[in-house]
Chain A
Amino acid sequence: MTGGMDAASARGGDAATRASVAPRRDLVPASHAVTAWLLLMPALVLLIAFTHWPAVATLWHSFFSTPKKGRPEVYVGLDNYRAMVEDDVFWQALWNNVVFALGTIPLSIALALAMALWVNSRLTGRGFLRLAYFTPTVLPMIAVANIWLFFYTPQYGLLEQITGALGLPSHNWLGDRSTVLGAMIVVAIWKEAGFFMIFYLAALQQISPTLAEAAALEGASRGQYFRRVLFPLLMPTTLFVLINALINSVRMVDHIFVMTRGGPDNASALLLYYIYQVGFSFWDSAYAAALTVVVLVVLGVTAFVKFRFLDRRTHYQ
């Protein structure tokens, strides 16, 4: 969602630059500036109304108490943040989210790249294969989570039937604190890898076959070709996918609602799920705002670091 809006504003920006730069600067009539602003307007209004203003309002509300019957909203300074420091569930959710991100991001990207390389090569039925890999992305998460719920069901679920046939002991995957987060990570990887594969596939199709031919003439092995030519050329895609994967690791909580509701004992609670709980089950909107601010800051800093340092090492064609 955010990605789409950013792209829209970028396009609006281009149009504006072109409109105002065309004539000589000192001769620009005022009407051109108006045109430019008018062109910017739709994107600007949407961005401010649905992205910037809510973010600022969230920050503002995080310094106040939640209004309750007979107790109007009052300024409490950093009280909500202090409460957060003492909130065990918050720390647990934060830690879970870190594990969830570290588990899903590298694996889903690696898998996406492997799948893209595989369906990019000449093989029969690759259209079908591409479709098969992309299917998880198309399916709604709620439906998918219900199917996975059956996979993980103890005693007669799919996973149990397989492990049972292999003579392995039975396990309650979602009911055990030590396995529930891993089970959630697997669902997320399955859901995401196909989506990222599409970006890699598109990038791979842009790469000229002459590079492969030249590398072959020089006597480079397939491994060298991948490491020295292909992967660097895919770096812009990797960066894009990385950012998306990070956002998704915070944003994707639908399956938590259906499969575990954060349980057992918060072992699968992720930050966004916890924010939802605080906001819409506990109706503590001020504390939910403070939690949201923390997530925003963490995401913002990570994105900044990525663009700042990875961008330098990224080769754009």
Chain B
Amino acid sequence: MRRHVLIALAAAAAALALPAAAQKVTEVNFYYPVAVGGPVTKTIDQMAADFGKENPDIKVNPIYSGTYQESIVKVLTAVKSGKPPQLAVLLSTDMFTLIDEDAIIPIDEVASSADDKKWLDGFYKSFMMNSRTGGKTWGIPFQRSTIVLYWNKDLFKEAGLDPEKGPASWDQMVDFAKKLTKTDASGNVTQYGVKIPSSGFPYWLFQGLTTPNDVELMNEAGTETYFDKPAVIEALQYWVDLSAKHKVMPGGVIEWGTTPKDFLEKKAAMIWTTTGNLTNIRSNASFPFGVAMLPEKKHPGSPTGGGNFYLFAKTTPAEQQAALKFAKWATAPQRAAAWSIATGYVAVTPAAWETPEMKKYAQEVPQAVVARDQLAHSVAELSTHDNQRVTKALNDGLQGALTGSKPPADAMRDAQREATRLLRSYKR
């Protein structure tokens, strides 16, 4: 009996000693959220495995960390407990929060070779707007999206509109929406002309209105907001009028999560939602549909959205290099193309669109190209210091106006006052 125990102990000791012998493997803990439908977890696991085959000296451990919101909670908790991940995908708008918490390091400090510089310059400029501040690069675009307009071609035909053309301008959208809104005998609306969701993060969709109206919501340093500018109030007035005056959009707050379903159920003829829903709508729509850039006012425009790679402080240089290597590998043209096709996110580099896979996809799904073309007119998503609080101030104001409890001008002035108060200490 005793001998058995000894043998078992020896075996255990040998087993423990083995990894010590192969100590050169650098581990990269990689936190990532899932924000769109589809087998994203499987895709990421596969990526990590493929990367491991090509780079036996690095082991990437993908850790699914919930929604974006849950992910930043987990990451910051890990940072505060002294065990930060080496790599994470978090919202591009979390940049200032992560900087203020001393959680992340500038990418350009790690990616210093000429080759690295070329790689960093290879991304779409509009995706880099949310990734740079103060002359440094803090994030690497990975799963990025933008807002587009989806329209139902069958319903357009029924209403006597050209089914191949989405609305090009604000006035035209109201015009189309009026023709597309149907009311039954008892006065209930059975089909709305348009739905712009306003639950959760209405500020993002609001930027789809402010950007074409030629106004930005914040400065690049993230220390100032411009919520009470006349052009911003005008944009909100337009949004409110869609339901209050024109009756082509439901009143109150419209749920983000069910908007694609409303479209699929033909309860809304046009919807605004992320490009990330393209794969979902494409596989579930029983009717032909079109995707258009957001309608223009003074010019076309939309905010970008989605997640960036971040590298973390309090990790070893070797780990940082390993994490960077994976991020580079994952954003290489072919990988970026495969990721875009699998999820519906916009491929992050022009080079990715030149790959044969992506060219084929663009031919099969011409709707995917709209998001890319819109990037030329895209601006950074709202992001400031104390980001969540500042955006909440704006969200509350937007929802207040949309539910009719405050006139748009008052709502935006209140939001601006609150934002100014919050950002006071960062303005130095």
Contacts and interface: CB of A to CB of B under 8 A. Distances in A.
A167 B186 contact: yes
A266 B396 contact: yes
Interface in A63-91: 68-69, 89
B258 A176 contact: no
A302 interface: no
Given A156-B265, A283-B97, A172 B253 contact: yes
A153 B255 contact: yes
A170 B250 CA distance: 10
Contact of A264 (B73, B253, B386, B389): B253
Interface string B177-215: 000000000111110000000111000000000000000
B284 interface: no
Contacts of A174: 199, 253, 255
A169 B185 CA distance: 12
Given A177-B405, A283-B101, A265 B188 contact: no
Contacts of B395: 263
A169 B183 CA distance: 12
Contact of A175 (B188, B250, B265): B250
A280 B392 CA distance: 13
Contacts of B255: 149, 153, 174-175
Interface in A128-157: 149, 153-156
Given A170-B189, A174-B253, A260-B199, A265 B262 contact: no
A283 B76 contact: yes
Contacts of A156: 262, 265, 267
Contacts of A264: 198-199, 252-253, 399-400, 402-403
Interface residue tally on B, bucketed by range? 35 or more
A153 B262 CA distance: 9
Interface in A268-298: 277, 280-284
A277 B252 CA distance: 23
A180 to B, nearest CB: 8
Nearest to B73: A280
Interface string A249-267: 0000000000011011111
B22 to A, nearest CB: 38
Nearest to B393: A89
Contacts of B189: 170
A84 to B, nearest CB: 15
Interface string B358-400: 0000000000000000000000000000101100100111011
Nearest to A263: B399
A155 B188 CA distance: 9
Nearest to A153: B258
Max chain B C-beta neighbours (<10 A), residue from A89, A156, A260: A156
B69 interface: yes
A164 interface: yes
Contacts of B386: 282
A176 B102 contact: no
A176 B403 contact: yes
Contacts of B265: 155-156
Contact of A263 (B97, B199, B388): B199
A177 B405 CA distance: 8
B253 A175 contact: yes
Contact of B199 (A170, A261, A281, A284): A261
B164 interface: no
B100 interface: yes
Contacts of B389: 281-282, 284
A164 B188 contact: yes
* Most interface-central of A176, A283, A284 (chain B CB within 10 A): A283
B254 interface: yes
B356 interface: no
Nearest to A92: B396
B251 interface: yes
Contact of B251 (A176, A266, A282): A176
B257 interface: yes
Contacts of A172: 250-254
Nearest to B411: A265
Contact of B399 (A69, A265, A281, A284): A265
A155 B254 CA distance: 12
Given A170-B188, A177-B405, A281-B69, A69 B252 contact: no
Contacts of A260: 199
A149 B261 CA distance: 13
Contacts of B400: 264-265
A175 B405 CA distance: 12
A175 B403 contact: yes
Interface string B32-44: 0000000000000
B258 A263 contact: no
A266 B190 CA distance: 29
Contacts of B69: 281
Contact of A265 (B251, B254, B405): B405
A69 B102 contact: yes
Contacts of A265: 396-397, 399-400, 403, 405
Contacts of B101: 68-69, 283
A68 B399 CA distance: 30
B102 A155 contact: no
A203 B417 CA distance: 56
Interface string B270-314: 000000000000000000000000000000000000000000000
Contact of A68 (B73, B100, B200, B388): B100
A281 B388 contact: yes
B250 A154 contact: yes
Given A175-B251, A175-B403, 15 more contacts: A68-B100, A153-B258, A155-B267, A169-B187, A169-B188, A170-B188, A170-B189, A172-B250, A174-B255, A175-B199, A263-B253, A264-B198, A264-B252, A264-B402, A277-B388
24 contacts: A69-B99, A69-B101, A149-B255, A149-B258, A153-B255, A153-B261, A155-B262, A156-B267, A170-B188, A170-B189, A175-B253, A175-B254, A175-B403, A263-B199, A263-B399, A264-B252, A264-B402, A264-B403, A265-B400, A265-B403, A266-B396, A277-B392, A280-B73, A283-B101
Rank and list the top 9 A-B pairs by shortest CB-CB distance, nearest first: A175-B252, A175-B253, A264-B399, A265-B399, A264-B253, A172-B252, A281-B388, A265-B400, A176-B252
